[in-house]
Structure 1
Amino acid sequence: MRLAQIEDGIVVNVIEADPAAVPDWAADWPEAAEAGPGWLWDGEAFTPPPEIETDPAEALAAERAAMQCSRFQAKAALLSAGLLPQVEVEIAAADPMTQLAWFEAVEYRRTSPTILALAGALDLSDEQVDDLFRTAMLIEA
């Protein structure tokens, strides 16, 4: 049987216990067939925790901040999209620091200045860059 520890109407812990040997310290815990931490307890029944609404803009910003891929993955995605030759032209014309970043980076991050500059030079929308990163992150060498 599953027993739930409740604090202030919220499940904070669930244990599995033999019905014939429930520990004394859990004797007054309610039986919780499906409930888990975060579920609500009103004294009679459990309900799932409320869904937390996230701001779509914040969620997208967090997703972009987490996007990264290897140099190989980035170049493979650009090649597949037909953009690698254009990127190479832009890099050849870029300032030395951008060239160094492009050629020496082990990984590229979606929000890095180099990626943002390249996206602007290629006239790529934020959504196109997102799609390139999503594609790149799926590529295996």
Structure 2
Amino acid sequence: MDHSKMKTEDYLNYLKNEIHSTVFATVDENGNPVTRVIDIMLVKETKLYFLTAISKPFYKQLKMNPVVSITGIEGETSMESFSITLQGRVNEIGSTYLDEIFEKNPYMAKIYPSVEDRNVLRVFEIYKGVMSIFDLSKKPIYQNVKSFG
């Protein structure tokens, strides 16, 4: 990866296509941190898209406090690792892009096989924030912070 040629969109696409499963942090109704693994489903320009079911605590936390911190990492060992962390604002966009998400992530049809099953899903976008890039596989170590959105 040549960081000198990477744009914000490139990092977001890398997060979606290469890392895919990320750790999302929110806060609960008592202000306590809560984490879970969420897949990045789609990237459009400088926005990331993910989804959740309206019945989950995650959905309620996003609605109560629409900010997240997410981290994705890859690499066999610490000194081969590359990570991206985003802190950003989220917005629910309903079922917009849901068909495209299922098309680009075919495994989702195994989790939610019917239209009725999918009716509980809501798409969210991360539309504005800060991205931290940390690449221990490069010498010297590459570290950078970029705004997006």
TM-score, scaled to structure 1: 0.24
* Structure 1 or 2: more strand by fraction: 2
Q: Whose Rg is larger?
A: 1
